[in-house]
Amino acid sequence: MSQAAKLRALLAQDKLHVMPCCFDALSAKLIEQGGFDLTFMSGFAASASRIGAPDLGLMSYGEVLDQVRNITDATSIPLLADGDTGYGNAMNVRRTVAGFAKAGAAAVMIEDQLAPKRCGHTPGKAVVSREEAFDRIRAANDAREDGADILILARTDARHDHGLGEAIERAAKFAELGADILFVEAPKTVEEMRTVCAELPGPKMANIVEGGETPDLSHAELRDLGYAIAAYPLTLMAAAMKAMTDTLAVMKQDGDRTPHLMDFKTLRQKIGFNDYYEVSEKYRSSARET
């Protein structure tokens, strides 16, 4: 079963899929080991991890594609990947969608922000015209019809400058143009979230940024509103950065850092040393026989 087929099967279930977001192969691997069914490569977190810079359109298509490949090579759960604005015009969108599909992504997110885009919960973002936004999703769907086995996650940030009504109208058109999952970014109240789910067809994704603009509801509340996916784009990145920062402060003072650390045995196991040794053992055995 392809990754896209796995994701379609998950979305056919009548439940909320909790989706911690990864930023590299190791974080994705830990998400899978934690028992989660899917993950999303957060552009915000990947930009911070890979180039140490904010998510303001600085990472290139090639860098993002390489990050996607690293993650899909290390995991078996479906990966939803952040395709930003498609990295150019409609023809670039087609290339992005086809490239992500070849890299093993189960879905690609295409959004309607102006380039360079920015995090949906930070100031200064703006969206392109309806016509350009629709062309992006049309091009993404065309790439799929040309053979890209991948789902389309269509995102609109129109709520910020143009209101919820405009965002819902754009998302509804995205669905008409072939989008499989709809993502209205940054609704500000529970009532807005309820309206999004009530008025739009198909699976909807909520984006929960701790300290962001969207209410941080419980899983049960998100499910009852009608969301199919709850994405947590910065939770793991924020946890990792706090742990590293706290540990560095302890090291600076020559304090006891062991309470902050995963034990060495568990660390090796989670990275995959034990699996490697188990598989490699059969080759050492055959070598001895010869």
In this predicted model, which residue has the larger pLDDT, 290 or 115? Answer: 115
CATH numbers and ranges of domains, the chain: 3-241 (3.20.20.60), 256-290 (no CATH)
Distance CA 167, CA 237 (A): 28
Q: What is the pLDDT of residues 58-67, one digit of tens each?
A: 999 999 999 9
Instruction: Answer whether residue 286 shows pLDDT above 70.
Output: no
Q: Give the CA angle between residues 44, 217, 25 to the nearest 5°.
A: 35
Instruction: Answer whether residue 290 shows pLDDT above 60.
Output: no
Percent over 70 (pLDDT), the chain: 95
Q: What is the pLDDT of residues 101-148, one digit of tens each?
A: 999 999 999 999 998 776 555 555 799 999 999 999 999 999 999 999
Q: What is the pTM of this model?
A: 0.93
Helices (H), 25-178: 25-33, 43-51, 61-74, 90-102, 130-145, 159-176
The dihedral formed by the CA atoms of 179, 31, 211 and 42, expressed in degrees to the nearest 10:
-50
Measuring CA to CA, which residue among 149, 208, 204, 145 is closest to residue 174?
A: 204
Q: What is the pLDDT of residues 207-255, one digit of tens each?
A: 999 999 999 999 999 999 999 999 999 999 999 999 999 999 999 999 9
